[in-house]
Amino acid sequence: MWNGMIDRKPALIARCRSAADVSAAIRYARGAELDVSVRCGGHNVAGTSVTDGGVMIDLSLMRSVNVDVDARVAEADGGCLLRDVDIATTEHGLCCPAGVFSYTGLGGLALGGGYGWRCRKWGLTCDHIIGAEVVLADGTIVQTSETENPDLLWALRGGGGNFGVVTKFRLALRPVGRLVLRTGLYAGDNVAIALRAYRDATATISDDFHLLGGLRHARPGDEIPEELADRPVLDMLAIYSADDETSAQQARELFDRMPEGVAGESVLSYLELQTMTDESSPDGRRYYTKSGYVTELPDEAIDRLIDSAAKNPSRTGSIDIEFLLGQVSRADGESSAFPQRHAPFMVSAYGSWDAPEMDDTGKYWARGCISTLQEWEHPGGYVNYISLDDDPAGAEATYGSAIYTRLTEVKRRYDPDNLFRGTRAVRPADGSSR
Ligand SMILES: Cc1cc2nc3c(=O)[nH]c(=O)nc-3n(C[C@H](O)[C@H](O)[C@H](O)COP(=O)(O)OP(=O)(O)OC[C@H]3O[C@@H](n4cnc5c(N)ncnc54)[C@H](O)[C@@H]3O)c2cc1C
């Protein structure tokens, strides 16, 4: 498991190579009355892919990807990591937009939603699922598409791993070219000035333009004045297509308004973009994250975030402020179970450490950071960013009652005994009390 804080031991790990293996593992678990969990990349921060004493269906041996270049469709096994899909598709100048860390599992990320560097331009990863092969709770293997079991397809687009084990994803692909990465590092009073400029720019930027700000402690090697090293610094990242003149102009305008800092600019391939943060979060450390959507970032919220960043007990942690909307908000809400398409910003406070004694302090800090933004909280949540000790039964609040009710109906049809508990557990309508 990626998060070293997860200390659960399954009774059995079923290392599956095919849908038939998955089916056999499910039938075995049911016969033995054992809980089931499903592991793809093992990256869920809350460790939902392992249960104590249960059967872990481990898909990590199922990582093939086939690309139909003419149809612009990839068929990816349910155990793929994002990098497997990126490597296979970019060879043909195509990609499926996904998360920012290439060792994350496609399974968990796509089923829960899937934000990433290109989501404002193209939408979420789950918006690109056009079909799937799924092993259901009774061990049967079914297909889903717009015409076959379409209610299941709807639920797989954002409803999490609550409905069955996806052994193959069919993903729509996008042509992708080179991308520009512009960066800025700001210190001292310039942090607040830069964050305000970032916030103001979000009012007009094009969908092609993606912005993220990360507040963190200064590190050795940061080119900042020594007297500012004990105050938080801000990393700004702006990403856009190298051939998009509108975005380039918007980037120039934004960085012209920015205060003095250390600026950088490079042109990257999509694969380089997708792997550029891989070194930042090594396996096995103890991680804790608390996230929340916010509706706006007034100066007061910015000041509180900077104040929280100064108190982060983790030297390697950060508070990430990501601007969303774009195509995420423009996708047809009816086509998927993904709930919070109109949330403007996602704020994630996270830390990592090695000593278990740090756990309480780190958790307390991250929760406190997000709770200082309560006045600007956007309702609902993102299933893929749940924290280790969040109540897994909080699905209704995460999805909102209309989507949640529809999910419970799909759950009743495909998993009436509630065998699969996703990162946010959806209970079957009028069904199992498990
Ligand atoms: C370093 C890091 C970076 C991240 N970056 C992003 C990001 O940029 N964007 C973003 O949106 N999220 C991001 N996340 C969050 C990520 O989307 C979730 O943690 C997600 O659950 C990880 O998926 P996984 O397959 O690796 O997880 P796992 O722990 O393997 O699985 C999590 C859950 O997903 C379900 N599941 C997984 N595969 C299947 C399958 N094939 N069939 C059925 N159910 C399945 C199961 O319910 C399982 O409990 C990041 C997480 C980390 C740790």
**pLDDT for 393:** 67
pLDDT digits (tens, 9 = 90+) for 119-134: 999 999 999 999 999 9
**pLDDT for 245:** 95
**pLDDT for 426:** 84
**CA nearest neighbour of 20 among 110, 133, 105, 132:** 133
CATH among 3.40.50.1110, 3.40.50.261, 3.30.465.10, 3.40.190.290 for 65-175: 3.30.465.10
What is the enclosing helix (H) or strand (E) of 212? strand 210-216
For residue 376, what are its two tokens?
């600007």
For residue 97, what are its two tokens?
């937009």
**pLDDT for 19:** 98
Q: Which atom of ligand 1 is nearest to the CA of 48?
A: 49
426 vs 101, 164, 434, CA distance in Å?
27, 12, 11
**CA nearest neighbour of 134 among 150, 117, 123, 119:** 150
Q: Which CATH class is domain 12-58?
A: alpha beta
- C-alpha 100 to ligand 1 mean position (Å): 12
Domain definitions of the chain by residue range: 12-58, 65-175, 179-385
**pLDDT for 430:** 73
Q: Is the CB of 97 under 6 A from ligand 1?
A: no
Q: Which CATH class is domain 179-385?
A: alpha beta
Cα Rg of the chain (Å, integer): 21
**pLDDT for 191:** 97
- C-alpha 44 to ligand 1 mean position (Å): 5
pLDDT digits (tens, 9 = 90+) for 234-283: 999 999 999 999 999 999 999 999 999 999 999 999 999 999 999 988 89
Whether the predicted interface score ipTM is above 0.85: yes
31 vs 26, 27, 54, CA distance in Å?
9, 6, 12
User: From the CB of residue 270, how many other CB atoms can be counted at a distance below 10 Å?
Assistant: 21
Q: 55-58 and 12-15 as β-strands: parallel, antiparallel, unpaired?
A: parallel
**CA nearest neighbour of 65 among 47, 49, 52, 83:** 83
Angle between helices 299-310 and 190-201 (to 10 degrees): 130
Sign of CA dihedral 392, 396, 119, 168: positive
**pLDDT for 432:** 58
The residue ranges of the chain whose pLDDT is under 70 are: 392-393, 422-424, 431-434
**pLDDT for 332:** 75
Q: Is the CB of 423 under 6 A from ligand 1?
A: yes
- C-alpha 265 to ligand 1 mean position (Å): 30
